[in-house]
Amino acid sequence: MPHYRIDKTDGSSEYAEGIRVLVDAESTVLEGRRGGAWHPSLTVPSHQVNAVYQRLTEVNGTWRWSRVIPTRALGLHRLAYPTSGE
């Protein structure tokens, strides 16, 4: 499962695993799948989110963080990798 880092406006960071990221005016949610249903793995109020990054593993085994969503989003945006059948 992909690893994500949420950098917060207070300078701290939170880490979690998830398959997709949902963002609206109120919250940023990392979600995973269990038993065929989506479940939140981390929820942070959107006004506290500075940026969201996904950890990417290189061929040689090293990894880096890649920014995956804008700092502010309007409306609901589905990002990451939805499973088939959606």
pLDDT tens for 25-71 read 788 888 889 898 888 899 999 899 999 999 999 999 999 999 986 54
The single residue listed with the structure tokens 């880096």 is 64
**Pair of tokens at residue 72:** 């502010």
pLDDT for the residue 21: 87
pLDDT for the residue 38: 84
Identify whether the C-beta of residue 44 lies closer than 8 Å to the C-beta of residue 51. Answer: no
Query: What global pTM score does this model have?
Result: 0.74
pLDDT for the residue 68: 86
pLDDT for the residue 42: 94
Residues 43, 28: Cα–Cα separation, whole Å: 6
pLDDT for the residue 78: 52
Half-sphere exposure of 43 (CA within 13 A, CB side): 6
